[in-house]
Amino acid sequence: MPDPASPGTPGEPILLVGQDRKGHWVVRHSLGLIEGIFVSRAAALHFAHQECQAIPGMRVALAGAALSSALAR
């Protein structure tokens, strides 16, 4: 399994998992195609891994900084 904290190559579909500035757990597609807010890190990672199984070539990466979320506004 690839290192979830390693950066992807340009154009590679990635689901970023991290927290927003309010502390919500967020999953966000690198191109903004998928987004979700979750009550726990485990729930966010579960969702991200399920989406990766459905979309060939998709990876999960842990965000290195706070994520912004259109849903949490």
Whether residue 3 has pLDDT greater than 50:
no
Please give the DSSP secondary-structure letter assigned to residue 39.
Answer: S
Host domain of residue 49 = 20-62
In the chain, the number of structural domains is: 1
Q: Is residue 10 part of a domain?
A: no
Q: What is the pLDDT of residues 10-58, one digit of tens each?
A: 667 899 999 999 999 999 998 888 999 999 999 999 999 999 988 888 9
Among residues 4, 19, 54, 9, the alpha carbon closest in space to that of 33 is found at: 54
Is residue 31 included in any domain, yes or no?
A: yes
Identify the pLDDT of residue 32.
86
Segments of 1-73 assigned E as strands: 14-19, 25-29, 35-38, 59-62
Distance between CA atoms of 23 and 13, rounded to whole angstroms?
25
Whether 57 is in a domain gets the answer: yes
| 24 found inside a domain | yes
Is 1 within the bounds of a domain?
Answer: no
Is residue 34 assigned to a domain? yes
Q: Which helix (H) or strand (E) holds 4?
A: none
Bridge partners of residue 26, in order along the sequence: 18, 37
Dihedral sign (CA 46, 47, 48, 49) = positive
Is 73 inside any structural domain? no
Does residue 72 belong to any structural domain of this protein? no
